[in-house]
């Protein structure tokens, strides 16, 4: 089981399962490279509403048993019930995985509004409560939002909900991506003031194409500082220059976070081992 400590400047990565089954070998190739960086853990995302949940467990098992790196399997409250959760936790434990990232999830396109509204576990905190009931010894991570969750009315409300979630038995928080470190520092201050004292890992997404920034911002709601917009305007038209500039921007963010003593860096790798290795070497 994982043991993430505060103030120890950890390093971890996230990968996602492929859409096509055959592409799983590409993910394995990426993982074979990522393991060389000896991250504290590699987490694997979970398809909206539970789609592809088997692939999450399969890839997590590869990380845990073949790469010999601690794996965190994501899971969502949306599409979950008590029996399904029991089966997933049993399967994960059988594969030697004792770490999960418990999320609420969003409404999948194919799910009816009514089904989403009537979900059994309303929030991530409800899922965490159930995980703790079924498996006391699991390492449970949860998500947090330096620029507040898009559905929250304000930061005070968002942090109150976060505090309640952490109190259900969260071991560490992983942040949504952000591109302005000052946003993260002020968020951390508010968390500590609210009595949230678990380690908080800073989510960094290297932006290597202009299109990727558009999609990420749309999904995450993260704001884009002028410095990053200028980089996109200057280099966006050239794939190689943009990739290099995006790596440099992420390296700059990480250097500054290190200087400020954050608990850890969590890289959203987008399954790109070369970009992750370049960033790792540079810092
Ligand atoms: P919650 O913590 O439940 O919060 C959701 C909203 O409800 C917030 O606005 C919160 O303030 C509010 N809220 C919480 N508790 C209460 C309450 N008691 N009363 C009223 N309001 C409340 N999605 C996937 O589908 N698969 C993934 O693998 C995945 N991985 C992710 C990894 C990270 C690090 C992050 C940051 C996000 C990830 N997501 C993933 C996206 C996530 O599912 C969405 O952002 C989702 O909208 C919120 O999930 P949550 O667990 O943060 O929700």
Which H or E run contains 9?
Answer: none
Based on the structure, what is the number of domains in the chain?
1
Note whether residue 3 is domain-resident: no
User: How does residue 48 score in pLDDT terms, banded at 50, 70 and 90?
Assistant: confident
Pocket-forming residues, ligand 1, beta carbon under 6 Å: 45-46, 48, 74, 76, 103-106, 123-125, 143, 149, 151-152, 158, 161, 165, 174, 176, 203
Q: Of the candidates 168, 158, 94, 73, which has an alpha carbon nearest to the alpha carbon of residue 126?
A: 168
- 2 assigned to some structural domain: no
For residue 76, the domain's CATH number is 3.20.20.220
Position 5 in a domain: no
Measured distance CA(101)–CA(45) in Å, rounded: 9
Q: Is residue 89 part of a domain?
A: yes
In this model, does residue 117 exceed pLDDT 80?
yes
Task: For residue 265, tell me if it sits in a domain.
Answer: yes
- Distance (Å, rounded) from C-alpha 34 to C-alpha 21? 21
Percent of the chain with pLDDT over 90: 86
DSSP 187: H
The verdict on whether 281 is a catalytic residue reads no
Q: In this predicted model, what pLDDT tens digit does every residue of 68-82 receive, in sequence order? A: 999 999 999 999 999
Residue 138 Ramachandran class (φ > 0 left, ψ -120 to 50 alpha, else beta):
beta
CB atoms within 10 A of CB 129: 17
- Cα 97 to ligand 1 centroid, rounded to whole Å: 22
Taking the CA of residue 174 as reference, the ligand 1 atom at the shortest distance is 34
Is residue 240 situated within a structural domain? yes
- The CA 28 to ligand 1 mean position distance, Å, reads 28
Assigned token pair, 82? 């008590």
Output the residue whose Cα is nearest ligand 1's atom 26.
Answer: 46
Which of the residues 8, 14, 91, 160 is marked catalytic? 14
In a domain, residue 1? The reply is no
The answer to whether 73 touches 44, Cβ cutoff 8 Å, is yes
User: Residue 4 domain-assigned?
Assistant: no
Q: Residue 6: what pLDDT?
A: 77
237 is in which domain, residue-wise?
10-282
pTM, entire model: 0.97
Which among 55, 149, 168, 198 is the best mutation to test ligand 1's pocket, defined by most ligand atoms within 8 Å of the CB?
A: 149
Contact present, 29 and 62 (Cβ < 8 Å): no
């Amino acid at each position: 089981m994982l043991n993430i400590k505060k103030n120890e400047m950890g390093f971890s990565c996230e990968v996602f399962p492929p859409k096509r089954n055959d592409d799983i070998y590409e993910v394995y190739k990426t993982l074979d490279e990522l393991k060389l960086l000896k991250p504290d853990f590699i987490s694997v995302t979970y398809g909206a509403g539970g789609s592809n949940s088997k692939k999450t467990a399969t890839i997590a098992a590869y990380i845990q048993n073949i790469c010999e790196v601690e794996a965190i399997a994501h899971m969502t409250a949306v599409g979950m019930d008590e029996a399904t959760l029991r089966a997933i936790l049993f399967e994960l434990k059988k594969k030697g995985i004792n770490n999960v990232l418990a999320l609420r999830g969003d409404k999948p396109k194919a799910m009816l509004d009514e089904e989403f509204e009537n979900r059994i576990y309303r929030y991530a905190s409800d899922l965490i409560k159930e995980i703790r009931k079924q498996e006391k010894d699991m390492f449970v991570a949860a998500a947090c939002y330096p620029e507040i969750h898009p559905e929250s009315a304000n930061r005070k409300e968002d942090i109150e909900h976060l505090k309640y979630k952490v109190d259900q038995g969260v071991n560490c928080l992983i942040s949504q991506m952000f591109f302005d470190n000052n946003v993260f520092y002020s968020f951390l201050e508010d968390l500590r003031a609210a009595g949230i004292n678990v380690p908080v890992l800073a989510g960094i997404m290297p932006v290597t194409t202009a299109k990727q920034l558009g999609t990420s911002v749309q999904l995450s709601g993260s704001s884009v500082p002028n410095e990053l917009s200028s980089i996109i305007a200057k280099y966006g038209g050239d794939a190689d220059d943009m990739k290099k500039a995006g790596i440099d921007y992420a390296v700059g963010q990480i250097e500054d976070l290190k200087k400020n003593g954050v608990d850890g860096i969590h890289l959203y790798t987008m399954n790109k081992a070369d970009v992750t290795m370049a960033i790792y070497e540079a810092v």
